[in-house]
A and B are shown apart, each in its own frame.
Chain A
Amino acid sequence: AQSVTQPDIHITVSEGASLELRCNYSYGATPYLFWYVQSPGQGLQLLLKYFSGDTLVQGIKGFEAEFKRSQSSFNLRKPSVHWSDAAEYFCAVGASGGSYIPTFGRGTSLIVHP
């Protein structure tokens, strides 16, 4: 079965600074990978996804993520963080064979200082 690790529970950045949220997955074949964002009181919104092809994927709100098979990672990045980016970020992995049900990490809470 697939699994996801988000090693950082909280990340604090200053507005305008760059951001990288880490995600490591465990799955034997090529996974489907997703990043979701959850603002307070809201559901999970898809930021971006990776299935195949170009390993650098662009998402909404200026986010991007890079799939690195050798490191089993799918880290989320943004060059300049805005105060409105403060939220909970979840990485998820789905299996390309067998169970397609996405497995979520525990999330990383992003705090943005002015």
Chain B
Amino acid sequence: EPEVTQTPSHQVTQMGQEVILRCVPISNHLYFYWYRQILGQKVEFLVSFYNNEISEKSEIFDDQFSVERPDGSNFTLKIRSTKLEDSAMYFCASSPGQGYSPLHFGNGTRLTVT
């Protein structure tokens, strides 16, 4: 069964550094998402992406964050200048459609900001 893959599985960075989290969505899916989960808290929506542009974003997704689909397969999340509070598990997901189409999640990237 096709999977969403995320790299790296764990990223450690210093405060103020830029990080790029990478995802390869399922190939025939059209909608892409980033969620994050701070330890012990709920899974929070960050951003959705469709047709090469952001379709929706949450209040968390401020100017520090950006997403890109640089080629036909990768979907990246960039955090420009990391803060301690950005430490979390970041999940990429994709879906073939919206609404009734469930999201397929990757295994996540654990980001630790020191």
Binding site for B on A (CB under 8 A): 32, 34, 36, 41-46, 49, 51, 90, 94-96, 99-107
Contacts and interface: CB of A to CB of B under 8 A. Distances in A.
A101 B45 contact: yes
A107 B99 contact: no
Contacts, number: 52
A40 to B, nearest CB: 11
B99 A44 contact: no
Contact of B102 (A46, A103, A104, A106): A46
Contact of B42 (A42, A95, A99, A107): A107
Contacts of B102: 34, 46, 49
Nearest to B45: A101
Main secondary structure of the interface of A (DSSP, over half): loop
A102 B101 CA distance: 10
B33 A43 contact: no
Contact of A43 (B48, B98, B107): B107
14 contacts: A32-B99, A36-B105, A41-B107, A43-B6, A44-B43, A44-B103, A46-B102, A51-B100, A90-B43, A94-B99, A95-B99, A102-B45, A104-B45, A106-B41
A41 B105 CA distance: 13
Contacts of A45: 105
Contacts of B33: 101
Interface of B: 4, 6, 33, 35, 41-45, 48, 56, 91, 93, 98-100, 102-108
B42 A104 contact: yes
A97 B114 CA distance: 41
A15 to B, nearest CB: 26
B105 A44 contact: yes
B109 to A, nearest CB: 10
